[in-house]
Amino acid sequence: MAQKIIMPKQGLQMTEGTIIKWLVEEGGQVKEGDQLFEMETDKLTITIDSTATGTLLKIVHGEGDVVPIAETIAIVGETGEDFSDLLPAGESKEEAKDEAPAAAPAREPEALAIAHQGGGERRFVTPRARMRAGEKGINIDDVPGSGPEGLVIEKDVLNYAASAPKATPLAKKIAAQEGVSLADIQGTGSHGKIQAADIAAKIAARTRGAARGERLIPLTGMRKIVAERMKASLTDMAQANHRMNVDMTEAVRIREQLKASGVKVSYNDIIIRCVAKALTEFPMMNSSMTDDGIVVKEYVNVGMAVAVENGLIVPVIKDADLMTLQEIGACSGELAAKAKENRLSPDDYTGGTFTVSNLGMFDVDSFTAVINPPEAGILAVGKIDKTPVVVNDEIVIRPIMTLSLTYDHRVVDGAPAAQFLKRIKELLQAPALLL
């Protein structure tokens, strides 16, 4: 009996996902638990396993499609089976019967074609054709299409590869990345084989004296969701800001002592420990505004903003107020590694009650961060810089760091927010109290 494959929900705030790549072709066999496709959310790219066993009868949504959660994206069943009743509205029963694949893989559906602007004209390329071109280091603009209206399909790429000029793998890769046609290059290698240096020379010649234009980066996936959420955050919240400078002398001393004893913690770990403590003393900073009122959280889950390739993700240290500094250090290190390697699970980045965003490692003096909804505040942390300050009427050099607190003024008033920030400062200037 045919079964639907739906877009799964990965995280509480996920509303849609982008299909990056199908790992099984139409007509291919799949077992429950086998890897079926790759998807991208606002948080990460993840491989999704099949929830059914049988033949992949139909791919309803192709690569590049943005699909709402719980919507049907594919049908799995027995070869030749009528699956028309499982199709989304608008798909005809006759179409379902006609498209039921035989044991052999189905042809590339034209519906999967991606519009592509190449050589000054609009072309259409199927995802499998684009994938094959990437694998073989072929510039897709060089491939003539045999499909309707010049549609480039997988067969076109394979035929072109068989007759393409000989080039080294590196030369093919660079040519594909830079949009250079191998047909226009005279190779300097053995028997006229095109080398990477030949491609580099072509690119240099093309660049010199050429007019510089513009390029469009599509707003999709994680970047799109981050943009939407940050705009909504500024629109929906009454965001205000306080700043304070902190003398990090004691924090530096404590960290060096721990390091000497073999305990590895970062300044960010110390900051998170102090923030967690302050949140227990100022519960309104650990709350959220809802339609029914202000929800005050009795648990303290501190998010740590981590920059990844396509945007920003905030792994969450759960129950941070109950952890020792060493435990926070171990947890933050593990979460940061998982974020950069794209191994975070939904539980790793949901449930935060407050966020710490540290850009000090990028030599940023101070900045104003945007609140991560539905939290009520976020702490922006700048670099630690040796600064002349006055202590006991004398000018001395101290390691100074600037903290910037952004808070939702609908939930927290200015004075309590300032007291909360001051408490963090006090704890950072005397961190031994927490150890």
Nearest in space to 328 (alpha carbons), one of 248, 388, 264: 264
Q: Specify the 3-state DSSP secondary structure of 341.
A: coil
Q: CB–CB of 171/195 below 8 Å? A: yes
* 61 counts as catalytic: no
Q: Which two tokens stand for residue 295?
A: 């929800």
| Partner residues linked to 381 by β-bridges | 358, 403
Bridge-based pairing state of the strands 72-77 and 54-59:
antiparallel
Judging by beta carbons within 10 Å of its beta carbon (0-12, 13-18, 19+), is residue 178 exposed, middle or buried?
Answer: middle
Distance between CA atoms of 5 and 76, rounded to whole angstroms? 7
Q: Which entry of 61, 191, 242, 409 is annotated as an active-site residue?
A: 409
Token pair of 229 as six digits: 């959420």
What is the DSSP-derived secondary structure letter of residue 111?
G
β-pairing, 16-22 with 29-30? unpaired
By the 8 A CB rule, do 279 and 321 touch?
A: yes
Q: Which residue has the tokens 């539905």?
A: 374
Retrieve residue 332's tokens: 């933050």
The count of other CB atoms within 10 Å of the CB of residue 300 is 23
Active site residues: 409
